[in-house]
Chains A and B, each alone.
Chain A
Amino acid sequence: MIVTTKREFKDLLANIKDYNSFFLIGCSECASLCGTGGEPELEELKEALEKEGKTVTGIFRAKTGCQVLGTKVELKPFKDTIGKTEAIIVMSCGAGTQAAVEIFPDKPVYQSNDTIFLGNMTRYQMFDERCSLCGECILDETGGICPVTACPKGLLNGPCGGTNDGNCEVSQDIKCAWVRIYERLNRIGRLDDMKKTIEPKDWSRGQKPRAMSVRKKEEKKK
């Protein structure tokens, strides 16, 4: 899921200082699980803004805030309210914020969160980054552990000299990605995989902005 973290309230206040009335949009997917854009957070921000003398004209938790069309449909009943509101605050990820920007081309849209990574939820509200969406996956060559993400240097051919009793030189709090890969390959009897040299990555596969349409392909087939 997309992991987000709350911004400092004072930073948000500084950004929205030119406006007085707001409509708040949360998201029931990732942002709810991260505790940054669910029902409690919407209520909390509403209260905080009101304490600062601002008006909150409404709050709404979108089903999937990054889904542009669906969110647009969901927000239809609030059309008049939002029309009379000065600005919108989105409490989800950067993608959700930009969905709102597309839905409301004439309204200022602000965000209450920073978007940090694509994460696995390991326990409730605990997240780990395991994939950095590089566009050319090498998991099959590395025992299913991603060195592009798990190694701070993104090394593809084994540990650097900094492996420290199995930990990473960059942070003693994380295990060296390549020691993990080594142990995993050893365990599944595929240590020879580690002896193959992985060629430099084709970073052009991750060239931004990326877009994809499954639909277009099908349409072309016709």
Chain B
Amino acid sequence: MSFSDILNSGKFVVTAEIGPPKGTDIKEMLHHMQVLRGKIDAANITDNQSAVMRICSLAVCKLAMENGLEPVLQMTCRDRNRIGLQSDLLGASVLGIKNVLCMTGDHVSAGDHKQAKPVYDVESVQLLKIVDGLNDGRDMSGNDLKGATDFYQGAVVTPESNPIEPQLIKFGKKVTAGAKFFQTQAVYDMEGFKTFMGHAKKFPVKILAGIVVLKSAGMANFMNKFVPGIKVPQVLIDELKAAGKEKALDTGMDIAARHIKQLKDEAICDGVHIMAIGMEDKVPDIMERAGLL
């Protein structure tokens, strides 16, 4: 079953993330793929995440398929102009990649090649429209394609963005531009997320809540301070603190599992997107604790 079929079947969907390594040694990454195989519904392959240069998403999507995972090609507008983006999309299509996540991409100043020229010829909303056009058999300039693509395209949204209204306006534009599913930035405040879902449910799209496992109170504080659009409530920080250093990660996994269970049991959204950031090994454990395996 394709990722879109699974999402449309009403099953509570789980996606995770594979971050391609910097360099050609892919042993660890292949191991992560093995761990996730058969457990998750799809794996996002990140596109030079945080503007740090790594193996390209396209090649790793192909590896993911060979290793039994359904890939979601993350595609940012930072490194390619409209010619490069469309060309890579056609390439992805002939390799059998079905899902694409259209993003703007972190600015080069966040990464390890700060002197690079950022491209941003087009941006996420426009990229979604481009994908829609390719699916219809024409490129951005209106030229006919010899063979159309058949992508299932998604986008991202930050439910805790402050102020929220401009973010919601952009969300609406992404839906109009053809986004079929959304994976959100990490959410920790379930009540706040319900408010966001109250808005999102008015649109015919699938929403996967972003889950980032908290490893410690320090990490939570760091994210609150430095990661835009992430707010870890104080109660959770206190819970991690109370657990002590040794049990902090375990508690963080419990919190993630608890949130996933609540999202599923209360049918708040259509699934979750677990960003394990180096702890892909732990994803099955978290799913088990959430009662999903």
Measured CB to CB, the residues of A under 8 A from B are 152-166, 169-171, 178-179, 181-182, 191, 194-195, 197, 199-200, 203
24 contacts between A and B (CB under 8 A): A154-B123, A155-B104, A155-B120, A156-B123, A158-B166, A158-B170, A159-B161, A159-B166, A160-B104, A161-B157, A161-B158, A162-B107, A162-B228, A163-B161, A163-B163, A169-B228, A170-B109, A170-B110, A182-B165, A182-B166, A194-B166, A195-B172, A197-B173, A200-B121
The answer to whether B166 touches A157 (Cβ under 8 A) is: no
Contact partner of A197 (CB less than 8 A), chosen from B82, B110, B125, B163, is: B125
Q: Does B122 contact A (CB under 8 A)?
A: yes
Complex CA distance for A197 and B172, rounded to whole angstroms: 10
Complex CA distance for A149 and B69, rounded to whole angstroms: 41
Complex CA distance for A156 and B165, rounded to whole angstroms: 16
Complex CA distance for A155 and B125, rounded to whole angstroms: 10
The answer to whether A152 touches B109 (Cβ under 8 A) is: yes
The answer to whether B167 touches A153 (Cβ under 8 A) is: no
The answer to whether B121 touches A158 (Cβ under 8 A) is: no
Min CB distance A173 to B, Å, is 13
Contact partner of A169 (CB less than 8 A), chosen from B107, B125, B165, is: B107
Interface centre among A160, A165, A194, by most chain B C-beta atoms within 10 angstroms, is A160
Min CB distance B229 to A, Å, is 5
Min CB distance A64 to B, Å, is 32
The answer to whether B169 touches A199 (Cβ under 8 A) is: no
The 9 nearest A-B residue pairs measured at CB: A158-B170, A164-B228, A157-B125, A161-B158, A182-B166, A200-B122, A162-B228, A153-B120, A160-B104
Q: Which residues of B contact A200 (CB under 8 A)?
A: 82, 121-122, 126, 140
Q: When each residue 147-165 of chain B gets 1 if its CB lies under 8 Å from chain A and 0 otherwise, what string results?
A: 0000000001110011101
Q: Which residues of A contact B157 (CB under 8 A)?
A: 161
Q: Which residues of A contact B166 (CB under 8 A)?
A: 158-159, 163, 178-179, 181-182, 194
Task: List the A residue with the shortest CB-CB distance to B176.
Answer: A197
Q: Which residues of A contact B177 (CB under 8 A)?
A: 197
Complex CA distance for A159 and B229, rounded to whole angstroms: 12
Q: When each residue 165-201 of chain B gets 1 if its CB lies under 8 Å from chain A and 0 otherwise, what string results?
A: 1110110110011000000010000000000000000
Complex CA distance for A162 and B228, rounded to whole angstroms: 5
Min CB distance A98 to B, Å, is 23
Q: Which residues of A contact B228 (CB under 8 A)?
A: 161-164, 169
Task: List the B residue with the shortest CB-CB distance to A159.
Answer: B166
Q: Does B21 contact A (CB under 8 A)?
A: no
List B85-100 residues whose CB lies under 8 Å from chain A: none
The answer to whether A153 touches B107 (Cβ under 8 A) is: yes
Q: Taking A163-B229, A197-B177, A200-B82 as contacts, is the C-beta distance between A157 and B170 under 8 angstroms? A: yes
Q: Does B285 contact A (CB under 8 A)?
A: no
Q: Which residues of B contact A161 (CB under 8 A)?
A: 104, 156-158, 161, 167, 185, 228-229
The answer to whether B162 touches A166 (Cβ under 8 A) is: yes
Q: Which residues of B contact A195 (CB under 8 A)?
A: 169, 172-173
Q: Does B106 contact A (CB under 8 A)?
A: yes
Interface centre among B110, B122, B185, by most chain A C-beta atoms within 10 angstroms, is B122
Task: List the A residue with the shortest CB-CB distance to B226.
Answer: A164
Complex CA distance for A102 and B188, rounded to whole angstroms: 63
Contact partner of A153 (CB less than 8 A), chosen from B123, B126, B176, is: B123
The answer to whether A156 touches B126 (Cβ under 8 A) is: yes
Min CB distance B226 to A, Å, is 9
The answer to whether B109 touches A166 (Cβ under 8 A) is: no
Min CB distance A117 to B, Å, is 16
Complex CA distance for A33 and B39, rounded to whole angstroms: 65
The answer to whether A199 touches B126 (Cβ under 8 A) is: yes
Q: 15 additional contacts, CB 8 Å, given A163-B166, A170-B107, A170-B109?
A: A153-B118, A158-B173, A159-B161, A161-B185, A161-B228, A161-B229, A163-B162, A164-B229, A171-B109, A182-B163, A191-B169, A194-B169, A197-B126, A197-B173, A197-B176
Q: Taking A162-B228, A163-B167 as contacts, is the C-beta distance between A157 and B126 under 8 angstroms? A: yes
Q: Which residues of A contact B122 (CB under 8 A)?
A: 200
Complex CA distance for A158 and B161, rounded to whole angstroms: 12
